[in-house]
Chains A and B, each alone.
Chain A
Amino acid sequence: MDFSLTDEQRLFQEAVRSFCDRELKPYAAQVDETGRLRMEAIAKMPDLGLVGLQVPEAYGGADFDSISAALAMIELGRACGSTGLSIEAHNELCCLPIVRWGTDEQKARFLPRLTSGEVLGSIALTEPDAGSDLMGTQTRATRDGDEWVINGSKAWITNASLAPVIVTLTRTDPGADTHGFSMILVETDRAGLTIAPPEKKMGTRASPAHVLTFNDVRVPRENLLGQEGRGLQQTLATLDSGRIAVGALCVGLAQAALETALHYAQERRAFGQRLADHQAIQFKLADAATQLEAARLLVLRAAWSKDRGENYTKLASMAKLFASEAVERIAFEALQIHGGYGYSREFPLERIYRDQRIMSIGEGTSEINRIVIARRLLDEHAPPV
Chain B
Amino acid sequence: MHVVVVTKSTPDTEATVTVEAGGNVNWGDKLVVNPWDEYAITEAVLLKGAHGGQATILTLGGEEQQEALKHGLAIGVDQAIRIWDPALQNHDSLGYAAAVAAAIRKLGDVDLVIFGKELSDIASDQHIFQVARRLGWNMIGFVSKIESLDAGAGTIRAQRLTERGTETVTSKLPAVISVVKDINEPKYPTFIGIRKAAKAEMPVWGLGDLGLDASAVSPRTQVAGHRELPKREGTVEMIEGSPQEQAARLVEKLLEEKIL
Contacts and interface: CB of A to CB of B under 8 A. Distances in A.
A266 interface: no
B219 interface: no
Contacts of A48: 188-191
Contacts of B195: 8
A47 B70 CA distance: 17
Interface string B220-255: 000000000000000000000000000000000000
Given A11-B70, A11-B74, A15-B74, A6 B188 contact: no
A8 B198 contact: yes
Interface in B150-193: 188-191
Interface residues of B, number: 11
B191 A19 contact: no
Contacts of B199: 7-8
B71 to A, nearest CB: 8
A64 B194 CA distance: 11
Nearest to A61: B191
Contacts of B197: 7, 11
Contacts of B189: 11, 15, 48
A15 B192 CA distance: 12
A11 to B, nearest CB: 5
Nearest to B200: A7
Contacts of B188: 15, 18-19, 44, 47-48
Given A11-B70, A11-B74, A62 B191 contact: yes
Contacts of A18: 188
A44 B189 CA distance: 11
23 contacts: A6-B198, A7-B70, A7-B198, A8-B194, A8-B195, A8-B198, A11-B189, A11-B194, A12-B194, A15-B74, A15-B188, A15-B189, A15-B194, A18-B188, A19-B188, A47-B188, A48-B188, A48-B189, A48-B190, A48-B191, A49-B190, A49-B191, A64-B191
Interface of A: 6-8, 11-12, 15, 18-19, 44, 47-49, 62, 64
Interface of B: 70, 74, 188-191, 194-195, 197-199
